[in-house]
Amino acid sequence: MKHRDSIHNEQNNFACDKCEKKFEFRSHLSRHQISEHKGRKDFACDRCEKKFVKHSSLSTHQKLLHKDRENFMCNKCEKKFENKSTLLKHNKIFHEVFKDYLCEKCAKRFGNKNSLLLHIRVVHDSRKDFVGKVLKDYLCDDCGTKFKDRCVLKRHQNLVHEGHKDYACDECKKKFGEKTKLTRHQKTVHEGRKDYACDKCEKKFGLKYYLFLHQKTVHEGLKDYTCEKCEKKFGQKSHLLTHQRTVHEGRKDYPCNKCEKKFGQKANLLMHQKIIHEGRKDFTCDKCEEKFGHKQYLILHQQTVHEGRKDYACDNCKKTFGRKSHLLCHQRTVHEGRKDYSCDNCEKKFGHKQHLILHLKTVHEGHQDFACDKCEKKFGIRSNLIIHLRTVHEGRQDFTCDKCEKKFGTRSNLIMHLRTVHEGRKDYACDMCERKFGYQHHLVGHQKRVHDGRKDFACDKCENKFGDKHTLRRHQRTVHDGCKDYPCDKCEKKKNWTENALAAPPKDSISRTKVCDNCEKK
């Protein structure tokens, strides 16, 4: 009786004096007090350092998480997992497109016919009195993953998005919920290991399933996730969710703690901080030495500047651009005439905010931070310095006209030459007279000289003023330097006119035909 009353008490009379929990057996009470109130966990896992009260709990933990990991392998991409639930979640996220049974009402796919029929009956059928009991979804606000049980959702949020990340990287302090993920992070991010190469292109990946996703979306062109609002397609479900959250919902959940800018994705925030606030530009062009903060910007630069690729054409004027953003800016500013950014110091307006910032920096603040080490000339923009070095000091003229073999130092000058000389285009019309020009700066100079009467270029040797720098230089050469380089073909007398002046009258004046006073040739 004494043994039965003390050991096998059937009325749960063994109560804990600290939490009032009751137990049927004294041994259970003792174990409870040791584990819950004294914190004794003597059985530690040698793989992840987690501790347990009972050896049996340690064995179960190792069996589920650390033993026989090879048994939980995805049969579609060969990625390995520590437990079956993680494998099932992976299949649901990445391989749902391989399910052959398609719901015609919502485009959701299923692995077997019975699951499809159950889905139709529960979700789309009018008899929905048991929907909440059978297939109620619990949605993760952070990544959009759905769960059938609230407890599973909570566990997912704790492990993936919030706490329980006990494994920190020594180099970047990033934390992980599992030791294997920390090891994988160190191998791929800090050691730079990319052991999986695509056999169709030269791209390499640190994880095998990233290679699988690359081949599936890039080379096979599979984009099975469609946005229902704009019909844009994506190769991965996570990309679709990010698109919907940032584009259609307008969410920017990642603010920069150094400025007021916000971002829809954490990766974009980190890139912004690295490039803007830390000033890091780790990617250098091997052709012109220009540096970029992102590898994609370097690739885009090489494609558009050095390879001359321009894949985006304007429907209105057929002008082509290397970047879609440049095309949109062109359409907004040129064809719609929008210039939404005004300079507070002058009346000049700009169609792009970056152009206004550059104008303020170089024109009003006088910043010329890029100096030529060969002639001490300074520039407000690095790209102008690079062009100057290449064309002036190296004498490079890499762009040849295929119609007249004339060479140019920049592609833009070649394009302008083709448009104005060979096509005869004059796209810049004066709104005060009927004159048209092939170059915008010619139009601006014409309006200043003729209509505004401005003469901003003064000769430092006399009091004469001129409307443009070219006329000033000709004046100085012929009047003050005494150069007379153009002989009359009827006599031997030389004049100080240019060949163009002999051939035709000036365009911006009334007839001022030059006459040789020796032979009267006009």
Judge contact between 359 and 367, C-beta under 8 A: no
My answer on whether 59 and 95 are in the same domain is no
Q: 88 is in which domain, residue-wise?
A: 68-125
Residues 448, 387, 332, 256: is their CA dihedral positive or negative? negative
- pLDDT recorded at residue 462: 92
Per residue, the 3-state secondary structure of 195-232, as one string, reads CEECCCCCCEECCHHHHHHHHHHHHCCCCCEECCCCCC
At 119, which CATH number?
3.30.160
- pLDDT recorded at residue 498: 46
CA distance 479 to 492: 20
Cβ count near 319 (within 10 Å): 16
My answer on whether 81 and 50 are in the same domain is no
- pLDDT recorded at residue 235: 81
Domain boundary among 125, 145, 162: 125
Reduced to 3 states, what is the DSSP secondary structure of residue 436? strand
Reduced to 3 states, what is the DSSP secondary structure of residue 363? helix
Does residue 463 lie in a domain region? yes
Does residue 466 lie in a domain region? yes
Does residue 42 lie in a domain region? yes
Domain boundary among 125, 146, 168: 125
My answer on whether 58 and 75 are in the same domain is no
Number of H helices, E strands in the chain: 19, 32
Phi-psi region of 378 (alpha: psi -120 to 50; beta: other; left: phi over 0): beta
Does residue 393 lie in a domain region? no
Does residue 304 lie in a domain region? no
Cβ count near 33 (within 10 Å): 17
My answer on whether 39 and 72 are in the same domain is no
My answer on whether 120 and 102 are in the same domain is yes
Does residue 131 lie in a domain region? no
Which residues, given as ranges, of the chain have pLDDT below 50? 1-2, 6-7, 9, 69-70, 97-98, 126-136, 498-515, 517-518, 520-522
At 476, which CATH number?
3.30.160.60
Q: How many domains does the chain have?
A: 4
Q: Phi, psi (5° rounding) for residue 31? A: -65, -40
Does residue 57 lie in a domain region? yes
Judge contact between 26 and 14, C-beta under 8 A: yes
SS3 helix, strand, coil % of the chain, rounded to 5?
40, 15, 45
Judge contact between 97 and 109, C-beta under 8 A: yes
CA distance 303 to 295: 12
Query: Residue 374 has what DSSP assignment?
Result: T
- pLDDT recorded at residue 307: 84
Does residue 351 lie in a domain region? no
Judge contact between 54 and 30, C-beta under 8 A: no
My answer on whether 85 and 44 are in the same domain is no
